[in-house]
Amino acid sequence: MARKKTDTEINRPISVDDHRELAKAHAKRNINAVNEALKFPTGDDFEKDLSDILNSDYEEKGETVVIAFTDLDCFMHINKDFSIEVGDRVLIDTGLYIKSKLPKDATVYRIGGDEFGIIFKGESEREDIFLFLNDLKNGFDVKTPDGVLQTMTIGMATAGTDASRYAELVRKADSALFRAKTSGRNKVTMAREEKMIPKTSHYTQEQLQRLGKLSKLEGIGEAILLREALDMLLKKYDV
């Protein structure tokens, strides 16, 4: 999932491609103090595991599937004001803190930078998971060497309710994280229903016909395809 900034504030929701590129970047760094210390599954594992779950019969089994992305607030200054080693220590302590608090039906992943991903799959309701994440945020007790308590922001999305495909569900969770960051940080935000502007105002008849054909071929809604295309455009111009 390429995001211009991984260790700084979020300027926009990051895309599925951003997640994949972060995972590849970390895979190339064979010696990574944080990954070596935590030994968490990484971004590639997150994509595979979530894709497998979404392609399973979780709904028929009555299971709730929720993903969450956690991001440290103002993390860039730690590397800058202290050192990369201190930044790594904060990330390691953060990862260990998250893992120690997770219920048995949840798995934490090191996505990259200061971001961790969580997959919940089980009997817990979405609202219960939201309350758990809020407690996770409120109980976060990692400090920098000067004794300042750090904070984290979390975005979450629910399979089936918010989206059923991998790319769309990840995008919804990232958008929730983005909204939480831009509205003050240190909070948990759920994905929300998105209002669509009528596409007939912006596209030619030929484009709409081709879009309809692609939608039928892939079995994917036109609105979802358009949102994915727009995300790619925004990523290209880094906005």
CATH classification at residue 29: 3.30.70.270
Structure tokens at 75: 């993390």
Q: What pLDDT shows up at residue 197?
A: 61
Same domain, 133 and 82: yes
Query: Could you tell me if residue 1 is inside a domain?
Result: no
Domain presence at residue 208? yes
237 and 217 fall within a common domain: yes
Residue 61 and residue 77 share a domain = yes
* pLDDT score for 133: 97
Q: Does 216 lie in the same domain as 142?
A: no
State the pLDDT at residue 235: 67
Position 180 scores a pLDDT of: 93
Q: How buried is 141 (Cβ within 10 angstroms: 0-12 exposed, 13-18 middle, 19+ buried)?
A: exposed
Q: Are residues 217 and 182 in the same domain?
A: no
User: What pLDDT is recorded for position 5?
Assistant: 44
Say yes or no: 67 and 164 in one domain: yes
The whole-number pLDDT of residue 81 equals 93
The pLDDT profile of the chain, 239 residues, written as one tens digit per residue, is 434 344 444 455 666 677 667 666 655 544 488 999 999 999 999 999 999 999 999 999 999 999 999 999 999 999 999 999 999 999 999 999 999 999 999 999 999 889 999 999 999 999 999 999 999 999 999 999 999 999 999 999 999 999 999 999 999 999 999 999 999 999 999 998 766 566 556 777 778 888 888 888 888 777 778 877 877 787 677 66
Q: Are residues 121 and 94 in the same domain?
A: yes
Query: Residue 71: exposed, middle, or buried by beta-carbon count in 10 A (0-12, 13-18, 19+)?
Result: buried
- 4 falls within a domain: no
Residues 160 and 97 grouped into a single domain: yes
pLDDT at 2: 38
- 149 is a domain residue: yes
Confidence at residue 37, expressed as pLDDT on a 0 to 100 scale: 95
Do 159 and 58 contact (CB within 8 A), yes or no? yes
**Is 127 in the same domain as 87?**
yes
